[in-house]
Structure 1
């Protein structure tokens, strides 16, 4: 029998429409082939008894910088592989490696290492394409992005980058800076998602950007404008724009710190689970003990302090990155934001899959889709991570 032939029994299966009690599922060659409430025939040699625990689609994290002591900007194959393994051990079955603002040569190296490491990634989360975060940002909303590298969109630069590699699937930028609207249109022409981030835009600028293809907002509320006053007049910012534009999708760092419970509840109440993706935005300290760490690459990164379950600038004046994992995000949305389990799972699975255009194969337990699955208990403690029908982590 192929090692990816699998039967899971005695599970509460979270499907797109309901939860099947005492459910069974069959996997052949990495693909879901049958789902049933009750017993199911087939794959009798390789059986997992879920013991009444939940069986969910694998978690999809569309914004990850690092974990396990590594960052993608370290620019080593080992960093890629170790980050993928760390996040798989917390329930992430697919993710988008994410960069920080940097020099062009460093970015080209990061993209090359994605392609070099992907065939070697046997025990980690699947790659869903690269997310470039920066360097075309507002200096006023740069957050922990290194100001040395922030610059305006340069057609010669971004066209060279995209000619260098075909794995870029998303690029975050500030839509109000000179050249950003044209940049967004170019990304759309290449099948790449332009995303709004580190921005001081007002509603009118966001609307123009949205009509040019910027249909997603990166780490909603973090490093972006709200209501502001200019020449005595009030203007709606990016936060209000995210609420006003019904089809705009947003992602939230649901660690309970970047967004406290009242804001988690507000985003959920207004946008709903079909327009929200939960993201970790995790840096290298995810899965590591508290203390000193580095945001970004080891060579040019920013020193930070990890305490109170978040990374902070050394002077503790601002947050400098998340150390969350996906299983924590699901638990937080249920416990802190009073969100029903099925909606919390939706925001961690099918909604991010749709945002990244990967929902044809990932994000839900449906016959014909990839057998990327997680098993967890009533307290949202992870028990198994299954990728392509293979168990890659057991608690």
Structure 2
């Protein structure tokens, strides 16, 4: 007989409303009931939510590292450390993300991912790999390594994708030579192409959208806004995101990459159903301030973490986020003035839909994976449950008789 878990006395965040004193019942890693009433469950493990919020687990579809590790370390222990670190802050599922690299580096990271995924028992579940680069615009590279930036090469990307089934999304600059054919190829393989680190203008973005690029990676970061070419003004990627209603966007809501006015504007124009909150976190997430490394430990870029963000050593640009998922939600509420339910939607059901896992993740409903978190009024995580397993808990887990 499969063991049951009963979570009760909490404010349950559902897709349609917040149930004030509800109960969630879990059996065998799946949600079996969500109710306004108490549900009798003999011999079940029980968690009293104590009036706190019971929420779907957070889904981070763009994360590079945390807890002192980076996915580009290409080490199984690093993958597991990152997953365990972010689980503590409410992330129950994630899409590990690479940085620009040579082909051998990408292939090695994919191989390590596949080995680590089979061992990941105590951290955020892996939903597949996100390759960020190397097909980016040099002028918009940010902290990406310029040595590896290049045009899409069919021989290269076909070899990479034939070597691993782990890739679920790939970010690129759509104006690069061969990028439209690249997007078409990704879509033919069921992989999501995303627009990133780009000098594109509206005419190039709409062509990309028509050929499969339906997501914009970290909106506002490393991309064009209104620009001039030969005295004429052109709409950039930011304006394109607003013009194309069907375009999904990512937002780093750490309060630094995007200040409060921009968080408010993105929400006002795009709405919660088209925005995915992402940490874009590097290895320094959940670590003390000071010196760190963006990318692999052996060949990464030296950065300094201060003011709750990673910067290049000369402080000329941001070099990455050190946010955790709880901070994203807190900032959308406090800085973006977004209702709690919408802030949660942007890091649960919306990213689940974008990554095509909404049938099993992203909301609290019978039949879905029991990825559940409990947090207080300040979005401080007190419990993390992944596929029915209590990964982190402040307080007791009791057994009924």
Q: What's the TM-score bracket when you normalise by the shorter of the two chains?
A: over 0.9
Separation in 2 of the partners of 1:320 and 1:149?
17
| 3-state SS in 1 of match to 2:350 | helix
Q: Is the 8 A contact 1:264 1:337 kept in 2?
A: yes
1:1-395 alignment to 2 at 5 Å? 2-3=2-3, 5-395=4-394
Contact 1:386/1:392, CA 8 A, preserved across alignment: yes
Q: What SS does the corresponding residue of 1:304 show, helix, strand or coil?
A: strand
- Distance between the aligned counterparts of 2:89 and 2:158, measured in 1? 36
State the alpha-carbon separation in 2 of the partners of residues 51 and 359 from structure 1: 28
Tell me if structure 2 keeps the 8 A contact 1:86–1:124: yes
Which stretch shifts more, 372-381 or 191-200? 372-381
Deviation string 1:193-249 (CA, Å, 9 cap, x unpaired) is 000000000000000000000000000000000000100000000000000000000
Q: Deviations over 1:145-195 (max 9, x none)?
A: 000010000000000000000010000000001000000000000000000
Q: Secondary structure at the match of 2:185?
A: helix
Question: Could you report, residue by residue, the CA deviation over 1:77-127 in whole angstroms, capped at 9, with x for unpaired residues?
Answer: 000000000000110000000000001101101000111011111100000
Tell me, in whole angstroms, the C-alpha distance in 1 between the residues paired with 2:207 and 2:42.
Answer: 53
CA apart distance, 1:381: 1.0
The TM-score, its normalising length taken from structure 1, stands at: 0.99
Answer whether contact 1:7 1:44 (CA < 8 A) is retained. Answer: no
Aligned-pair CA distance for 1:41: 2.0
SS at match of 2:272: coil
Q: CA deviation at 1:2?
A: 3.9
2:369 and 2:122 map into 1 onto residues whose CA distance is 16
Deviation, 1:380, is: 1.2
Output the CA distance in 2 between the equivalents of 1:247 and 1:61.
21
1:7–1:43 Cα contact (<8 Å) kept: no
Please name the residue that 2:397 is paired with.
none
Large movers: runs of 4+ above 3 Å: none
Deviations 1:332-369 (A, max 9, x none): 10011110000000001000000000101000001100
Residue 36 to residue 249, structure 1, CA distance change in 2 (3 Å) = same
- Name structure 1 gaps, 5 residues minimum: none
Distance 1:266 1:45 in 2: 46
TM-score, normalised with respect to structure 2: 0.97
- C-alpha distance in structure 1 between counterparts of 2:271 and 2:293, whole Å: 34
Show CA shifts across 1:296-319 (max 9, x none). 001110000000000000000000
SS in 2 for 1:366: coil
Mapped to 2, the partners of 1:125 and 1:379 lie a distance apart of 22
Q: CA deviation at 1:43?
A: 4.8
Tell me how far apart the structure 2 counterparts of residues 165 and 84 of structure 1 sit (CA, whole Å). 21
CA distance in 2, matches of 1:299, 1:183: 30
Distance 2:37 2:16 in 1: 17
Q: What SS does the aligned partner of 1:25 have?
A: strand
- Matches of 1:90 and 1:381 in 2, distance apart? 8
Tell me how far apart the structure 1 counterparts of residues 166 and 38 of structure 2 sit (CA, whole Å).
41
- Does the 8 A contact of 1:26 with 1:43 survive in 2? no
**Structure 2 unmatched runs, 5+:** 395-401
